[in-house]
Amino acid sequence: METTAQKKKYAAKDYKSDLKPIWCPGCGDYTVLNSITRALAELALPPEQVAVVSGIGCSSRIPAYTSVYGFHGVHGRALPVATGLKLARPDLTVLVTGGDGDGFSIGGNHFLHACRRNVDLTYIVMDNQVYGMTKGQASPTTAPDWEGSKLTPEGTGINPFQPLVVGLASGANFIARVSSSDPINMARIIVEAIQHPGFSLVQVLSPCVTFRPEQAEWRDIVRTAVVDYTDDAARAARRLMTDDGFNVGKVLFKGSRPPFRPEFEHSHGSVAELEARFML
Amino acid sequence: MLVTINSVSLVIAGSGGAGVVTAGSLLLDAAAKAGWYALMSRSSGPQIRGGEAAAMLRFATEPVMSHDDSFHLLMAIDWDNITRFSAEIPLTAESLIVGDPAHGEAPAGLLKNNPRQAALAMSDIAAKIENGRPNMVALGAIAALIGLPPGAMQAVVEDNLKRKGQAAIDASMAAFHAGIAAAADLPAIPQLPAVAAATAPRWSITGNEATGLGAIRGGVRFVAAYPITPATEVLEWLAPSLAKVGGMLVQAEDELASINQIIGASYGGVPAMTATSGPGLSLMIESLGLAVAAEVPLVVVDVMRVGPSTGIATKSEQSDLNIAVYGLHGDAPHIVVAANSVSDCLFTTQWAVHLAEAMQVPALVLTDQAMGQARAIVPKPAELAFIGQRLTATAAVEGERYKRYAMTGSGVSPMAIPGTPGLTHTADGLEHNEFGTPSSQASDHLAQMDKRSRKLTQFTYGDHWADIEDSEVGAGDTAIITWGSSTGPAREALRRISATGGKARLISVRLIAPVQPEKMAAALQGINRVLVVEQSHSGQFHRMLRAFYDLPKDTHALHQGGPLAFGPGQILEQLNVWSA
């Protein structure tokens, strides 16, 4: 654990850039940014030892709003970029941030395999059940009867994606749900997620005040989950399958699978030895 | 058949389980032991396992750059589906087909040009030997026909079968010697002279292995990839080899993940590569643009196969040039290089790592199935000085905020690797200013476009942009311009022109993009006639040359889709028709 002296070394603001976010006033993502920087300060990680990787979407803008190393890639591919970075540079703390469309629609396959592969990453998904950047279309987590988009005026008619259930089934090693309305608790859970080895999935209910104004009610609907985390995947699955999506503020599952990390062997071989095998 | 190099060409064909590819490999290894050079290509049917296969081999007392126009010998262990290969096995009246009477007559499809025929009872002979195999009988006959010393095969069989024990070695060699004895009754084909113990050091290597080695020599230590024919052997060679030199290979969930994982690794400071074929390259294109915009060096190898779509996965074509050069959306300057032989896969891939790292840009390497899956006995490739060297920023400057995308004369800006204190920044696929901050301003866009383009135009590529070779008595006024796999037969065509006292120049373009108009103009000094040779139905290379280079008025194009490779004679014929 960190010493008190180390903890004092950094404040949340030390992890923030001076860029003004493009987000709408009242967007849930502001508090997610605050909770991330607070968590990094709590862990007293030197900013240069942290990288935040993202794809495309409102929440994927986070890297540039931090003062750590950042990578803002293309839509849906944050997890593979982060996977390559963490495998090549295991010394870094790598966070991945993004939204429900980026992670579960266009990047859905990477989500499955990132959970399966269990590289030591922390994936923070700001779920607002809508594509905000393209101005209000249904996302994979949108309810089937939501009629707010011109693309799907009758609703999508498709059952919403269940990220935590899918994440659990795919092998995520740490699963939590938090609400953007409770930044202190969110920061605490992000700290825990970073500290837990392997792939950590943190779903944040982060309302879109512009295209889903009704989500302002989430603040009143969410409740602190009554149970503590389990390390039993079957029990966690039963809980997640029966939950209404508004139990927040607790870690729901902690597994003990060792993280994926093919060792960079100490180079006991040389290129000359490889070449010798071709020699006649 | 016009033969100017001392060579013999043969095909071993048969159905699954006949051991055709094994027989070809043993023969290649034995030829190497005998001091010869060789090239072996393989062709196979669509079956995953157990389908018909053919091993095409050419042996010579000097390095083999191409297959010949026809084969001296077709050794058919059986006839199952062999006509599927007939277009790939050109035979003449002087060719000899040897078949096993136990499997009936040679199919009519092989007999168009009235090749000579002879019988060899491979299965009957093998049956008389305990654990004898018909393919070893065939090898014995081939060895006797082409003049391969039996001792060379003995050594190779001992190497290959030592784990199976002495009995297996003895059975194989008994079948081999029975084949030699039986060959006494066969008509003759050209023989190669025995060579005194090998003089210069030689390698036995496939194009795909050479590609992997080039990557490691250049400094690549992280590879993420998804299996795809015919690139998989690059990865299968790299996985254990990278581990030996402190690197790693990760099998990704798809090509979108492959390219993005290597972007992540390279952003982290570790030179990175992936290898794929056309369908995979198509999937990677969006993220190649990301690597251009975010200025992340990386190498993508495309072992080309017949397209479009799934095409013919197991066969070769030079038709990914357009997507490699023009496939990216927006104006996205990047490097495209092409290997022109089995051993050049090493040079070109290593050079690509060097170029990518030096310019902080993605580099595409085009090879193809024909060279990737071919094995050759080659002179030991030279040591190359190219090691990927990235310009990095290592320390913060007091009072100055770090500019990841700073304007510089060369266009290359020092890159801060994560972990470096005081230089944190966000690398971005969004257009950005010098700091990396997203920007939608015209001035930032134009300045960054100029910078990214300048990196490639200011770079000194040296002589490696093309291989330029003249006939012995000079270039004359005729040039063959080609690239990639078509270079082999063009080289041999040039040899034949030389042998008859003719003149021509070969220009094999290695640096496909960015284009080098000044260098091409110099190479075309005094040239009035150009023949463009490429394996593409629409003439992609010819169109590209037309777009970017001043070619003589008298320029012809020889282009055809895959998978049949050009023979040297086909290229000569084109030149002759033209000069008549």
Q: Residue B1: is its pLDDT beyond 60? A: no
CA A50 to chain centre: 15
Give CA–CA dist A29/A210, Å, rounded: 13
Tokens representing B210? 């050479």
Q: Residues B252-264: what's their mean pLDDT? A: 98
Chain B environment of A110 (Cβ under 8 Å): 253, 256-257
CATH class of A20-276: alpha beta
With 0-12 / 13-18 / 19 or more C-beta atoms within 10 angstroms meaning exposed / middle / buried, residue B40 is buried
Please, what's the b/e burial string for B308-330 (b: 16 or more CB within 10 A of its CB; e: otherwise)? eeebebbbbbbbbbebbbebbee
Tokens representing A33? 């940014």
Name the minimum distance, in Å, from the CA of B60 to any CA of chain A. Answer: 16
Q: Residue A3: is its pLDDT beyond 70? A: no
Closest CA to B567 of B489, B470, B513: B489
Tokens representing B531? 């023949």
Residue B4: the pLDDT is 47
Q: What count of other Cβ atoms lies within 10 Å of the Cβ of residue A91?
A: 9
Q: Is B387 or B90 the better-scoring residue by pLDDT?
A: B90
Q: Are the beta carbons of B267 and A81 separated by less than 8 Å? A: yes
pLDDT tens figures, B157-173:
999 999 999 999 999 99
Q: Are the beta carbons of A87 and B250 separated by less than 8 Å? A: yes
Residue B47: the pLDDT is 72
Bridge partner list, A77: none
Give CA–CA dist B444/A37, Å, rounded: 29
CA A235 to chain centre: 23
Closest CA to B260 of B252, B271, B269, B248: B252
Q: Residue A1: is its pLDDT beyond 50? A: no
Which residue is associated with the tokens 């795919």?
A170
Chain B nearest-CA residue for A119: B250
Give CA–CA dist A191/A39, Å, rounded: 5
Tokens representing A8? 């004092």
**What's this model's pTM, rounded to 2 decimal places?**
0.96
Assign B44 a pLDDT band (cuts: 50, 70, 90).
confident
Q: Residues B239-264: what's their mean pLDDT? A: 97
User: Out of A72, A74, A263, whose CB is closest to B426?
Assistant: A72
Please, what's the b/e burial string for B183-201 (b: 16 or more CB within 10 A of its CB; e: otherwise)? beebeebbebeeeeeeeee
The answer to whether B8 and B59 are in contact (CB under 8 A) is yes
Chain B environment of A112 (Cβ under 8 Å): 253
Assign B52 a pLDDT band (cuts: 50, 70, 90).
confident
Complete domains list, chain B, with CATH: 7-185 (3.40.920.10), 204-379 (3.40.50.970), 391-459 (no CATH), 464-579 (3.40.50.920)
Q: How many CB pairs under 8 A join A and B?
A: 187
Give CA–CA dist B45/B53, Å, rounded: 6
Question: In this predicted structure, which of B79-88, B396-405, B519-528, B568-577 has the lowest mean pLDDT?
Answer: B79-88
pLDDT tens figures, B376-433:
999 999 988 888 799 999 999 999 999 999 999 999 999 999 999 999 999 999 999 9
Q: Residue A185: is its pLDDT beyond 90? A: yes
Chain A environment of B436 (Cβ under 8 Å): 64
Q: Residues A257-267: what's their mean pLDDT? A: 76
With 0-12 / 13-18 / 19 or more C-beta atoms within 10 angstroms meaning exposed / middle / buried, residue B267 is buried
Q: Are the beta carbons of A84 and B222 separated by less than 8 Å? A: yes
pLDDT tens figures, A118-129:
999 999 999 999
Assign A267 a pLDDT band (cuts: 50, 70, 90).
low
Chain B environment of A92 (Cβ under 8 Å): 268, 418-419
Amino acid at A173: N
Q: What count of other Cβ atoms lies within 10 Å of the Cβ of residue B357?
A: 25
Assign B223 a pLDDT band (cuts: 50, 70, 90).
very high
Which residue is associated with the tokens 């065939």?
B138
Name the minimum distance, in Å, from the CA of A76 to any CA of chain B. Answer: 9
Q: Are the beta carbons of A85 and B425 separated by less than 8 Å? A: no
With 0-12 / 13-18 / 19 or more C-beta atoms within 10 angstroms meaning exposed / middle / buried, residue A203 is buried
Chain A environment of B431 (Cβ under 8 Å): none
Give CA–CA dist B157/B22, Å, rounded: 11
3-state secondary structure of B460: coil
Q: Residue B81: is its pLDDT beyond 90? A: no
Name the minimum distance, in Å, from the CA of A238 to any CA of chain B. Answer: 28
DSSP for chain A, please give it. Answer: ---HHHHHH--GGGGB-SPPP-PPTT-THHHHHHHHHHHHHHHT--GGGEEEEE-SSSGGGHHHHBSSEEEE-STT-HHHHHHHHHHH-TTSEEEEEEEHHIIIIITHHHHHHHHHHT-S-EEEEEE-SSBTTTTSB--TTS-TT----SSSTT---SPPP-HHHHHHHHT-SEEEEEETT-HHHHHHHHHHHHHSSS-EEEEEE---TTT-GGGGGHHHH-EE-SS--BS-HHHHHHHHHH--S-EESEEEEE--PPPP--------S-HHHHHHTTB-
Assign B80 a pLDDT band (cuts: 50, 70, 90).
confident
Stretch (H or E) spanning B76? strand B73-76
Q: Which of A56, A72, A79, A102 to mutate to test the interface with B (most CBs of B within 10 A)?
A: A72
Compute the radius of gyration of chain B from its Cα atoms: 26
Amino acid at B362: P
Residue B2: the pLDDT is 41
B107-110 own/partner pairs: CB under 8 Å, 24+ apart: B107/B79, B107/B82, B107/B83, B109/B83, B110/B74, B110/B82, B110/B83, B110/B86
Q: Are the beta carbons of A264 and B424 separated by less than 8 Å? A: no
Q: Residues A18-30: what's their mean pLDDT? A: 96
Q: Residues A67-76: what's their mean pLDDT? A: 98
Chain A environment of B253 (Cβ under 8 Å): 109-110, 112-113
Number of alpha helices (DSSP H) and beta strands (DSSP E) in chain B: 17, 23
Chain B environment of A85 (Cβ under 8 Å): 264-265, 267-268, 418
Chain B environment of A83 (Cβ under 8 Å): 250, 257, 261, 264
Q: Are the beta carbons of A264 and B247 separated by less than 8 Å? A: yes
pLDDT tens figures, B300-328:
999 999 999 999 999 999 999 999 999 99
Provide the sign of the torsion angle of the four alpha carbons B201, B207, B213, B217, taken in this order: positive
Residue B45: the pLDDT is 75
Q: Residue A278: is its pLDDT beyond 70? A: yes
User: Out of B198, B261, B430, whose CB is closest to A83?
Assistant: B261
**Mean pLDDT of the residues in chain B:** 95
Q: Which of B156, B223, B426 to mutate to test the interface with A (most CBs of A within 10 A)?
A: B426
Q: Write down the domain spans for chain A.
A: 20-276
pLDDT tens figures, B105-147:
999 999 999 999 999 999 999 999 999 999 999 999 999 999 9
Residue A245: the pLDDT is 95
Name the minimum distance, in Å, from the CA of B146 to any CA of chain A. Answer: 21
CA B530 to chain centre: 24
3-state secondary structure of B147: coil
Provide the sign of the torsion angle of the four alpha carbons B531, B532, B537, B539, taken in this order: negative
The answer to whether B529 and B479 are in contact (CB under 8 A) is yes
Sheet strand arrangement including B298-304: B248-251, B222-225, B272-276, B298-304, B362-368, B335-338, B511-513
The answer to whether B220 and A243 are in contact (CB under 8 A) is no
Chain A environment of B248 (Cβ under 8 Å): 87, 262-264
Closest CA to B429 of A32, A52, A56: A56
